[in-house]
Amino acid sequence: MSLLQEICANRAKQVEEKKALYPIALLEKSAYFKAETVSLNTYLNRSDKSGIIAEFKRKSPSKGIINAYADVKDTTISYMQGGASALSVLTEPTYFDGKDEDLTEARKANYCPILRKDFIVDEYQILEARSIGADAILLIAATLDKQRLQQYHSTARELGLEVLIEVHSEEELELLPSSDFVLGVNNRDLKTMEVNLQTSIILASKLDKSLTLISESGLHSPEDILRLREHGYKGFLIGEAFMRSAHPGRELARFVQELRAAE
């Protein structure tokens, strides 16, 4: 079993437990469930924004502990003040030490698009995302067949959530819906776990130019952003490069200043 399969299997067990504790009728009573959402797609295409989706995460399976003590409210506010276009918040608990409450705290403190970064294996999680204040969800093509990917996409859109679909290879492009999503290219090879920005560059030539494209994993410098922009990318998901700092928001602000100076 691959690490990704292991994470998804574990997440499926957790979701079954949560269904018993928090039935859908309870999720629908959340103040966020019918609230207006903020468009990730719109913010990524704004010319006055950096395109950076700044991620809050405490640890990862590949890197271990990244920042165990960061405060989600302080970090996400400083991210937005530093020039991020949007936020990504990890909510997977076992491998990333995330919590649904992290996203809700970010929601309370910020008016901006917030992506729920998780491993969605059940439609329940989409309603859950709406109830905790997310504006968009992540669907990982490698973890879903075409039918489920299309169904989850439809459910999310019906609930007013935008969808970031993540691919790792050209083969996964065949699973995509016809329209109405943001496309993320993850530069991490799922077999070797190695990261290479060439993945984004190679896939860019095979993608629909009308899509809003996001590059994920392995982005460390303003030069990476400028290079990827040349290939049509509008969004750049960055977490570890900021979260390793004692002050992630300051690190992002410095990054954005360097980016603007290089533009």
Quick one: how far is CA 151 from the chain centroid?
19
60: left (phi over 0), alpha (psi -120 to 50) or beta: beta
Residue 158 CB contacts under 8 Å (≥ 6 apart), including other chains: none
Instruction: Decide the pairing of beta strands 64-65 and 86-90.
Output: unpaired
Catalytic residue IDs:
55, 57, 117, 166, 186, 216-217
Strand runs (DSSP E) across the chain, as ranges? 52-56, 59-60, 64-65, 86-90, 114-117, 136-140, 162-167, 182-186, 213-216, 233-238
Round to whole Å and give the CA distance between 39 and 160: 10
